[in-house]
Amino acid sequence: MNENSSPDDTKRPEMIEHAQPLVSNAHDLVPARPGAGLPALPSTIQLPSRRWWLRVALALAVLAVGAGASYYWWQRLQAQLPPGIAFGNGRLEADEINIDTKYAGRIAEMLADEGDLVKAGQVVARMDTQDLAASLKKSEAQVRQARRAVDEANANVAQQKTQVLLAQQEFDRATALLKKGFQTQEVVDQRQQQLNGAIAALEAATARVTESQHALEAATHDVELYNVEIADNTLVAPHEGRIQYRIGNIGEVLPAGGKVFAMLDTSYVYMDIYLPTEAAGKVRFGADARIVLDAYPKVAIPAKVSFIASQAQFTPKIVETQSERDKLMFRIRVRIDPERLRGRADIVRSGLPGVTYVLTDSAATWPASLQGASVQ
């Protein structure tokens, strides 16, 4: 032992030997910062990142700037129009009609496809009606049987009438002979009973005629019902329009109400736009409007206001300031006259973007570019 060595120094090699296993897995530790004298941190520990707060704040700022820019853009363009005219962007739309099955069944025939123009009443598909056809034949046979039953009942009535007539004559004859003393009361009573029986049989035959007629009517109604069901299994277009989607296919079994086609009703074409409070409050039902599509920028299609929303959209639930009230947007719908669309189903394109101009003042006049014209 060295004179300058302390007892602690003699134990240092042993401590180092025991300490080696503690650092044998040094790759699991992150090296400490040089000179810091701090223990290393495990590599699996990650400090929480705060950058997502910055991203959220940036996204909110972009949305706010976009909304303000849109409103400012609307006001700039509005200032370029004559007084009494408001405008809004939208897309040309047409009512969508689903051609559905009324009864459950299998599709037997498809007579239309996507993109086809169809007329009102045109057959577009047929369902399998073999079971209904068999039931119809059965009901028709029952109708024929009921008619024969009615004829038989009528013949029976005619026969019973002759029996009543004969019984009445015999009774009258016996009564006359009884008065002259050539007939007994017993015979007269017998003739009376025969007459009463014949009358009762006639009444029964008449009742059977009524019953047979009711049976005939019931069988006839069954035939009518099956004919209606067979007709309802022939799917037709309810309006003139264009087939947009073919949902079903031949051989598919559909439930009642199963969709086969989706078509566009080209007689109901409209565009929805959104106007701020100041402009929407001046719009009236039936007000004159013009639709200018991007595809036909030089054509102004005449239309009328058919709907004005009673509640604002794209706004907070509680509005307290005048500036926020000025930014309320109301949905306005303008519709093209169906008579103008008649015969023009081939040029109607749902989804075309464009601009709708609406008169907010009945005394205002359209500029020359919006006088109105129809697409050729």
Residues 217 and 357 in one domain: no
Q: Return the number of other C-beta atoms located less than 10 Å from residue 375's C-beta.
A: 12
Q: Is 172 helix (H, G, I), strand (E, B) or coil?
A: helix
| Gap between the Cα atoms of 375 and 352, Å rounded | 14
Query: Does the pLDDT of residue 11 top 90, yes or no?
Result: no
Confidence band, pLDDT 50/70/90 cuts, at residue 6: very low
Query: Does the pLDDT of residue 376 top 70, yes or no?
Result: no
pLDDT recorded at residue 373: 57
* Lowest-confidence pick of 22-36, 88-102, 142-156: 22-36
Query: Does the pLDDT of residue 36 top 60, yes or no?
Result: no
**Has residue 62 been placed in a domain?**
no
**Has residue 294 been placed in a domain?**
yes
Residues 269 and 216 in one domain: no
pLDDT recorded at residue 63: 59
- Stronger pLDDT, 47 or 83, i.e. the higher one: 83
Query: Does the pLDDT of residue 343 top 60, yes or no?
Result: yes
pLDDT recorded at residue 369: 82
**Has residue 341 been placed in a domain?**
yes
Residues 226 and 239 in one domain: no
Query: Does the pLDDT of residue 16 top 70, yes or no?
Result: no
Measured in degrees and rounded to the nearest 5, phi and psi for residue 223 equal -65, -45
Confidence band, pLDDT 50/70/90 cuts, at residue 50: low
**Domain tally for the chain?**
3
**Has residue 169 been placed in a domain?**
yes
pLDDT recorded at residue 219: 93
Residues 248 and 274 in one domain: no
- Stronger pLDDT, 358 or 372, i.e. the higher one: 358
Residues 270 and 343 in one domain: yes
| Gap between the Cα atoms of 4 and 118, Å rounded | 112
**Has residue 17 been placed in a domain?**
no
Residues 142 and 177 in one domain: yes
Query: Does the pLDDT of residue 182 top 70, yes or no?
Result: yes
Over residues 85-96, mean pLDDT? 91
State the CATH number of the domain containing residue 117.
2.40.50.100
Confidence band, pLDDT 50/70/90 cuts, at residue 187: confident
Of 192, 221, 254, the residue that ends a domain is: 254
What's the pTM value of the predicted model, to 2 decimals?
Answer: 0.59
Q: Kind of pairing, strands 234-236 and 123-127?
A: antiparallel
Residues of the domain holding 191: 130-232
**Has residue 156 been placed in a domain?**
yes
Query: Does the pLDDT of residue 9 top 50, yes or no?
Result: no
Over residues 106-133, mean pLDDT? 93
| Gap between the Cα atoms of 162 and 93, Å rounded | 77
| Gap between the Cα atoms of 362 and 85, Å rounded | 10
Phi-psi region of 369 (alpha: psi -120 to 50; beta: other; left: phi over 0): alpha
Over residues 239-268, mean pLDDT? 92
pLDDT recorded at residue 29: 37
**Has residue 284 been placed in a domain?**
yes
* Lowest-confidence pick of 16-20, 73-77, 143-147, 264-268: 16-20
pLDDT recorded at residue 278: 83
pLDDT recorded at residue 39: 47
Residues 193 and 289 in one domain: no
| Gap between the Cα atoms of 229 and 349, Å rounded | 35
Query: Does the pLDDT of residue 112 top 80, yes or no?
Result: yes
Q: Write out pLDDT tens, residues 295-335.
A: 888 889 999 999 998 887 765 444 444 455 556 788 999 99
State the CATH number of the domain containing residue 216.
1.20.120
Confidence band, pLDDT 50/70/90 cuts, at residue 74: very low
- Residue 14: what residue type? E
* Lowest-confidence pick of 31-45, 335-349, 351-365: 31-45
Query: Does the pLDDT of residue 18 top 50, yes or no?
Result: no
Confidence band, pLDDT 50/70/90 cuts, at residue 165: very high
Q: Kind of pairing, strands 234-236 and 241-246?
A: unpaired
**Has residue 57 been placed in a domain?**
no
Residues 149 and 115 in one domain: no
Q: Is 115 helix (H, G, I), strand (E, B) or coil?
A: coil
Residues 363 and 306 in one domain: yes
Average pLDDT, the chain: 79
Distances (CA, A) of 166 to 157, 162, 195: 14, 6, 8
State the CATH number of the domain containing residue 80.
2.40.30.170
Rg of the chain's alpha carbons, rounded to an integer? Answer: 47
Measured in degrees and rounded to the nearest 5, phi and psi for residue 16 equal -65, -40
